[in-house]
Amino acid sequence: MKFASYKNGQRDGQLMLVSRDLTTAINVSDIAPTLQYALDHWYQLADKLEARYQQLNEGRLHGVTFQASRCESPLPRAYQWADASAYVNHVELVRRARGAEMPATFWTDPLMYQGGSDDFIGPRDDIILPSDEWGIDFEAEVAVVTDDVPMACSETMAAERIRLIMLVNDVSLRNLIPGELAKGFGFFQSKPASSFSPVAVTPDELGDAWQSCKVHHRLRSTYNGVLFGQPHAGKDMTFNFAQLIAHAAKSRNLRAGSIIGSGTVSNRQDLSEGACIGEGGVGYSCIAERRMVETLLHRHPSTPFMQFGDKIRIEMLTDACQSIFGAIEQRVKPLD
């Protein structure tokens, strides 16, 4: 199934089922008014939603034209948003660029931070911030949404509790990060509101591309109209989503609707020739990583962070070039 939440003036939006090809959508409020409600009652409602979804795809229901511009993030607000750094290559580059060793345990013990989840922005909404001197960056990621997950659950059980998959733009304020991390309590002001793809999909929608709890497609980031990165989300993901969920649930239950992010998608590349798209590489899912490689190669970064007016588009395509989740497409704008 594919789900979207249309803007309707309410805090949680209006649940819509979207056809597999993303052309049509249908209001399913008679089954579940919101996506959180559907997740809260998944066992009672999934079959009904599935039946409606099949009818929609078979053209037996009169849907409306699907418009990503009408979308909230699938969960406009959520009770849990925990983001990992599962592509350890990215973390290693961060460390190398500042001349620090990465602890060996980073390959066996996931990095994860607790994100804020009360005010996500829509996939086509502007990223509004008071200043573009804070080092505004996008981070293209994959995320899953879980059902209830009991404390201390196994990876096998964690895998079974994955209900939905979506894309994320985990907006980061790079210039605020060093000061905040130095305080020792992790990110807060440096991680403003994230946005998610117009559509969240059940794992079966990915077919063979959902294997070992990883998404086996490239994640495309287009920055100001130029392809900036297309690393493969199935490669170099050191911890799969089942491992990340089990990590998150070590000392707590996760409740239905919990979002667990992969962290910036990043592939290990031969840096000697550069790793940008124009240099034959797969590019990057955030500006910071490109700046790290620039620092490693040339001693200092040359790509600036986002300025007001800059635009980022994040999307994932099937092998047949069909958009799976719709595109996140946002401009950075100043707070009035």
- Residues near a copy of itself (CB under 8 A) are 11, 40, 77-80, 82, 85, 103, 106, 109, 111-119, 128-130, 134, 151-152, 173, 176, 181-193, 247-248, 250-258, 335
**HSE-up (13 A, CA, CB side) for residue 133:** 0
**Burial of 335 by CB count in 10 Å (0-12 exposed, 13-18 middle, 19+ buried)?**
exposed
- Comparison of 119 and 273: residue with beta carbon closer to a copy of itself: 119
- Comparison of 25 and 78: residue with beta carbon closer to a copy of itself: 78
At 88, list the tokens.
């350890």
Cα distance between residue 162 and residue 259, in whole Å: 10
Task: Compute CA distances 313 → 166, 167, 285, whole Å.
Answer: 14, 11, 11
Radius of gyration of the chain (CA): 19
What kind and span of H or E run contains 155? helix 155-160
Cβ(289)–Cβ(264) below 8 Å: yes
- Comparison of 105 and 272: residue with beta carbon closer to a copy of itself: 105
To a copy of itself, the closest distance from the beta carbon of 227 in angstroms equals 29
Cα distance between residue 29 and residue 321, in whole Å: 31
- Comparison of 187 and 216: residue with beta carbon closer to a copy of itself: 187
SS3 of 234, please? coil
- Comparison of 128 and 209: residue with beta carbon closer to a copy of itself: 128
To a copy of itself, the closest distance from the beta carbon of 258 in angstroms equals 6
Cβ(162)–Cβ(213) below 8 Å: yes
- Comparison of 12 and 297: residue with beta carbon closer to a copy of itself: 12
